[in-house]
Amino acid sequence: MSKLTRVICMTRNTRVHLDGYGYAKLTRVQYIMQAKKRTQKGVEAAVTIVSEFMGVPINYYVETNYWGFQSMVDSLGGIKMDVPFGVTLTHPWY
């Protein structure tokens, strides 16, 4: 029996409302709540905000860095893009 899984990706700079603090970037929600109520409460607050914002329940989450995210996208077949002009990558990572 297969189970349908929905993957939600939301940028960390999405503007969301945090009760008692007003509007902030999603990334700030976790930091604020971690500073006030410890690490686990920060994660729970971020998950709750995303769930409410997207209108779907969230049962699991993944915390990763950019390279982990890239590996996940690559394992699903990548993202095909057509960029109609030349791009030069100048960031020190490259």
Dihedral angle sign, alpha carbons of residues 31, 20, 26, 42? positive
Q: Please count the other Cβ atoms lying within 10 Å of the Cβ belonging to residue 42.
A: 18
Token digits of residue 36: 């006030």
- Concatenated DSSP letters for 55-70? TS---------HHHHH
Q: Residue 8: what pLDDT?
A: 66
Ramachandran angles phi, psi of 42, nearest 5°: -65, -45
Residues 71-76 have a mean pLDDT of 90
Quote the CA–CA distance of 15 and 26 in Å, as a whole number. Answer: 6
Sorting pLDDT into bands at 50, 70 and 90, what band is 59? confident
Per-residue pLDDT of 14-31, as tens digits, reads 999 988 889 999 889 888
Q: Residue 22: what pLDDT?
A: 92
